[in-house]
Chain A
């Protein structure tokens, strides 16, 4: 029996979040991860969390708030909560025009600059990497750029996310066709092993990427990330309020080596957030540079 009549008749039992419960939860969420839930998303929160409450057998959202702070299962529940409020939507080769600019201009610049200085190291940070499509894509692009020379380089792509669940899945490196919808066929051919249904990332790419959990809200954690030549943080800061955006962008500035580049989502902008970076306009993308 799959579901016994909508899991035992629910007539009239609806969980509503009161204004004060909403404020408590919103402040709590903000304090935990910097994501600010605007008033107009109250209904969404109520709707998405109602199932958690039912599952946990909680009477109301006040009890849920309590649960998140005190229950022995709170850490686990917190990551569930994060999953409810974040979107992990991503794909390989997301936004190709931007990546083209990255490959042909930015990455080549950095590589040539290094060569000129007799160096062979490359550090890229993918902050908010979700299930791994972005950092693996970057690994592929680096491969394409360096070709056979790659074995002589010291390359590290640091990939972080708040959600432990997405990181687990990223480490596995197994993907469905859907994640590959914007990926060129020759790339799929070259960097995946496929059994026809699933696509597995090749080991030589995997070894370039190291995954780890990070909360972008946590300044101290950010300070510990190795300095980078390039930072990718696409489609992540949209969840944050201005204060948190400023904080995070300032941390990227500090992390970048001088002359390094910041790449944010195609629809995002640093307007009113930071003036520290020099915007460089390319057809199809704006890239931000930390001046040397």
Chain B
């Protein structure tokens, strides 16, 4: 507080920069004594000082600030008034009764301001006071603002007085309806419905919207009844409200006649220019559906933009899918309008995925049937759908694609289906050439497919390939032989371990290690690679020793702690820690002196994983050092040891 004494004189300086600085400081130090002066500064005509005073008054807050700022609401200077309002909106809750007092001020403007501020007070006491203002204040603008603020407060206690206020002027009704929509009290449904009969067109349409948003089913019967007699614009709004209240699904609970009627209304609402109404109609039609609905929705979709209307399109697609397979969808996939075609395929994909009973009979037939007439972008999509949803009946179709198509994406889909999904031995001849495709992703897909197909023929060809001149072929062959995981392949892999290309040696190490699930002496072949000249190869070996850990690997891991490459060391540390090899602790401790702090942090982490007396003691020691980060890490590690002991 002694600081505050220092800042007060700054606020009196002639130098505006000093005043600004002082005003900020007073706020940072919560100087209540400075509040009266800060309020004066707020009213001063200097933007830099106003900013500082404002920010500090907000920070300090409290009764004193409210008392000091309230009088500024009467200022003739509009910016000062606005600033004060803003501050009071933020801190007003700290002295609600002072503001309630202002609701009885003689000046109607003050009463409006007070109503406004109380709307942000989040305080129940404000409700009663605002309700009184709403029902009794002689000035219509005060009543209007009171309703707005009651809505902002959003408390159920206000429903009663707001319901009554529906009998007030139309101007007040606007804000009352909005407030009721926010509060969503069930008692308000009746009040709103009652008001509907004598409401102007504008108020009527606001009431309909409100009922829709309140989501109370009580309103549905009345709304449906009104539909017949209402003009189109209002009827569309009612349709939206009903869909909003019931959600699409419950629409199926209407009687058959009601449903048919409602469907006709929704089809009309699809053509409304209000997007929200369109969307509600779409949601409703998803459940009461039909051919016309599908067609109408597709028309809307075709006018949308893929980037801007992403969300809307996604909803539309889901709803189209819910309606199911229609002629309109079938037609649309072949449309020249790419937008439309894309939407249609996506909807069909969803229908296919849902695949009643796990098969995609009908949709897949349609897609296969039209495939060759579609544009390339649509073909790519269709192949994706078929590859994941089609049954073995699509085999011939995909084989045909391998023969005739040359687009990478399309080929990938075919390869995925025939290889990974169907494991079709007969297409091996057609897939092998794709290992030389110009795009890597196609190569990868082909490789993956061949590995999945497996079998003698595939193996024989990879064995041949493993001695190819072309390093890429050797690489792929070694990779595949490893994944296939036949102990019989070990001979080829052993040769690859000595390949002149480091990347191939690395993949060979991984390949040999694929055999580590089986018994056998895979490790005798891999361990010598710990002295490979290439650090990536060494690193791979260490990672594998960690993954397929056995006790006799420990000496090798300990040895790797002395590798010249930090990452080889770090992965060795990880492995020793992960497998809680207590014998490794002394070697780890030596690394605590390492200049690379990342290595040190890893050691600390490992010690925490290993636990035991020695590790624990050394962690205690570290936690006594004066390097903040080490201490924190050591404490975490100690906590971990303690935790594992409690278990």
Interface residues of A (CB under 8 A from B): 1, 4-11, 57, 66-67, 69-72, 74, 250, 253-254, 258, 274-278, 290-291
B interface, by DSSP: helix, strand, loop or mixed? helix
| Count, chain B residues at interface, CB 8 A | 31
Chain B nearest CB, measured from A246 CB (Å): 9
Residue of B with least CB distance to A5: B472
Given the contacts A274-B51, A275-B47, A291-B46, A8 and B507 also touching, CB distance less than 8 Å:
yes
**Are B507 and A71 in contact, CB atoms less than 8 angstroms apart?**
no
Contacts of B440 in A (CB 8 A): 5-6
Query: A66 to B573, alpha carbons, bound, how many Å?
Result: 15
Q: Assess A9 versus B507: contact at CB under 8 Å? Given A4-B501, A57-B567.
A: yes
Expressed in whole angstroms, the minimum distance between the Cβ of B253 and any Cβ of chain A is 38
CA distance A23 to B601 in the complex (A): 21
Option from A5, A74, A275 in Cβ contact (under 8 Å) with B476: A5
Instruction: Give the Cβ gap from A151 to chain B, nearest Cβ, in Å.
Output: 33
B residues within 8 A CB of A9? 444, 447, 475-476, 479, 507
Distance in angstroms between the alpha carbons of A278 and B539 in the assembled complex? 61
Question: Are A70's CB and B476's CB within 8 A?
Answer: no
Query: Can you list 27 A-B contacts (CB < 8 A)?
Result: A1-B471, A4-B475, A4-B503, A6-B440, A6-B444, A8-B506, A9-B447, A10-B444, A11-B447, A66-B598, A66-B601, A70-B597, A70-B598, A70-B600, A70-B601, A71-B596, A72-B595, A72-B597, A253-B51, A274-B51, A275-B47, A275-B51, A276-B47, A276-B48, A276-B51, A277-B47, A290-B48
Query: B472 contacts A4, CB within 8 Å?
Result: yes
- Chain B residues near A70 (CB-CB < 8 A): 597-598, 600-601, 629
CA distance A9 to B475 in the complex (A): 9
Top-4 shortest CB links A-B: A71-B598, A6-B440, A276-B47, A72-B596
CB distance from A275 to the nearest CB of B (A): 6
Contacts of B475 in A (CB 8 A): 4-5, 8-9
Query: Closest CB-CB distance, A291 to chain B, in whole Å?
Result: 6
Chain A residues near B64 (CB-CB < 8 A): none
Across-interface contacts of B479 in A (CB, < 8 A): 9
> Would you give the shortest CB distance from B564 to chain A, in whole angstroms?
15
Q: Tell me how far the C-beta of B451 lies from the nearest C-beta in chain A, rounded to whole angstroms.
A: 9
Tell me the smallest distance from the CB of B630 to a CB of chain A, in Å: 9
Bound-state Cα–Cα, A253 to B600, Å? 45
- Interface 1/0s, chain B 414-449, versus A by CB < 8 A? 000000000000000000000000001001100110
Q: Is the pair A57, B539 in contact by a Cβ cutoff of 8 Å?
A: yes
Pairwise interchain contact B598-A8, C-beta atoms closer than 8 A: no
> A57-B567, A70-B597, A71-B598 are known contacts. Are A8 and B48 too (CB-CB below 8 A)?
no
Distance (Å) between the CB of A14 and the closest chain B CB?
13
The reply to whether the CB of B84 lies closer than 8 angstroms to some CB of chain A is: no
Shortest Cβ gap from A194 to chain B (Å): 39
- Is B448's CB under 8 angstroms from A11's CB? yes
In the bound complex, what is the Cα–Cα distance between A278 and B51 (angstroms)? 13
- Is B319 close to A, CB under 8 A? no
**CA separation between A290 and B51, bound complex, in Å?**
12
List 15 additional contacts besides A5-B443, A10-B444, A11-B448; criterion CB under 8 Å. Answer: A4-B501, A5-B440, A5-B475, A5-B476, A7-B503, A8-B475, A9-B476, A66-B598, A275-B50, A276-B47, A276-B50, A277-B47, A290-B48, A291-B47, A291-B48
Q: How far is the CA of A276 from the CA of B17 in the complex (A)?
A: 13
Name the B residues within 8 Å of A278 (CB-CB).
Answer: 47
**A253 with B503: CB separation less than 8 A:** no
In the bound assembly, the distance between CA atoms of A70 and B48 in angstroms comes to 41
Within 169-195 of B, Cβ neighbours of A (below 8 Å) are at none
- Provide the residues of chain A in CB contact with B506, threshold 8 Å: 8
